[in-house]
Amino acid sequence: MKYAILIPDGFADEPIDSLDGQTPMAWAKTPHLDALAASAVIGRTMNTPDGFVPGSDVATLCLLGYAPAEVYTGRAPLEAAAQGIEMGPDDWAFRCNLVTLGDGLMKSFTADHVSSREAAALLKTANEVVAPLWNELVGRYAVHADACRGTIEFLPGVSYRNLMLFRPERPGLLPFADLMTFPPHDYTDQKFNQALPANGESQLIRQLMLRLASVFLPSGVNKERVASGKLPATDAWLWGQGKRPGLVPFASRFNGVRGAMITAVDLLKGIARGIGWDSIPVPGITGYVDTDYAAKGRYAATALDKYDLVCVHVEATDEASHEGSLEKKIDALEAIDREIVPQLVKKLQTYDHWRLLVLPDHATPVRTKTHARGYVPFMAVGSDLTGTEPGQTFNESTAARSPLCFDQGPDLMPWFLQSSGE
């Protein structure tokens, strides 16, 4: 059996008045997905368990069959794994987003899509000027200084998505176990004070963020950005902290199924690495709406000859939602349907036995510009699956009518890999 999974990140949404009360998925012209839906099994799944916030880290783990309560330690360690960063058992990783703050607002959680080159230059300065101050800050602001002494290092990633690594002097302690941090993309155009680190060592982390802002603001990178009409990367937003996770290989859990991931996002690459999948590099993919959708389709089709399961993740739909751009979200959905789906299905149909699963990790409504907890629709189609409703299309309302519902998201994957579909 050959399997493929297509994840248009955050595509689930709510009815929108300007779309005659339809969701973007129902409104978008997606003839290839509609053709598949006519003979597909459609249902709902809950990828955000109680007690967790609706992020792609938790939701993707659920989607792939892993219970976050058993394996999740934080978002940043998963991204560290994607970069091949070796974390010791006592090390902590933080997401270090470059953002634009101003007038008390989170003006841009991407710093106007700062380039990887610019981000690397800013983090180089952070390592040279701010990182050496860490233990001085610990002495002045830490609640538990002995646990927080050590070293920090800023590690560049892709665009605004970067990391900070903390290596402690003393092992066996949990300096950030009580720290609460919040993802900046949940506060677009909102007051950022409500989202600053809280509890635990929050004062220490806030002071570190202030020091970083003091060297970023006058930097040559930001002077050039402002001169060219772009927003400056004013601050480094620290969040998503955690220790090294322990994930059981996917093949060990699911009868030897060997998988691979196609994505431009380090988080997904990190999850793939953690569960023993390969990440397939694809030229031209960006994690934004300008990504090369067709290249993702081509590389996925080719990869099916080597792997039992190929997962294609597309970030564009989520990014469009975070920007509040209905037009970009619909364009991204239509590009996925036009450029990825036909290539994937054509290749799958060359095998005697195959299945395709299409679903978002979570909902990201354009109206709120942030992730939302709730059931998301899924569609499964394949050589041995029988549709739930003749003539149906794939969208949120069709899924809501289906009797097939997974209240526990991790239960979907074993169903998809093993169910007869009857």
Q: Can you give 312-374 as a three-state secondary structure string?
A: EEECHHHHHHHCCCHHHHHHHHHHHHHHHHHHHHHHHCCCCCEEEEECCCCECCCCCCCCECC
Q: What is the DSSP letter of 180?
A: B
Sequence-distant (6+) residues with CB within 8 A of 281 are none
Supply the pLDDT for residue 422: 38
Q: What is the pTM of this model?
A: 0.83
Supply the pLDDT for residue 196: 98
Report the distance separating Cα 34 and Cα 57, nearest Å. Answer: 29
Computed on alpha carbons and rounded to an integer, the radius of gyration of the chain in Å comes to: 22
For the segment 231-249, what is each residue's pLDDT rounded down to a tens digit? 999 999 999 999 988 899 9
Instruction: Print the SS3 string covering 388-405.
Output: CCCCCCCCHHHHHHCCCE
E strands, 169-275, in order: 235-242, 259-262
Supply the pLDDT for residue 419: 57
User: How many residues are recorded in the chain?
Assistant: 422
| H or E element that contains 140 | helix 134-141
Supply the pLDDT for residue 421: 42
Report the distance separating Cα 373 and Cα 49, nearest Å. Answer: 9
Report the distance separating Cα 392 and Cα 40, nearest Å. Answer: 8
Place of tokens 């020091």: 211
Place of tokens 């069709």: 398
Sequence-distant (6+) residues with CB within 8 A of 111 are 97, 98, 99, 100, 160, 231, 232, 233, 234
A 10 A CB-CB count for 174 gives 14
Angle value at C-alpha 422, between 261 and 297, nearest 5 degrees: 25
- Residue 53 class from Cβ within 10 Å (0-12 exposed, 13-18 middle, 19+ buried)? middle
pLDDT mean for each 10 residues of the chain (422 residues)? 98 97 97 95 96 93 96 91 90 97 96 96 98 98 97 94 96 94 93 97 98 96 97 97 92 96 94 96 95 98 98 97 96 98 98 98 96 97 86 93 96 87 40
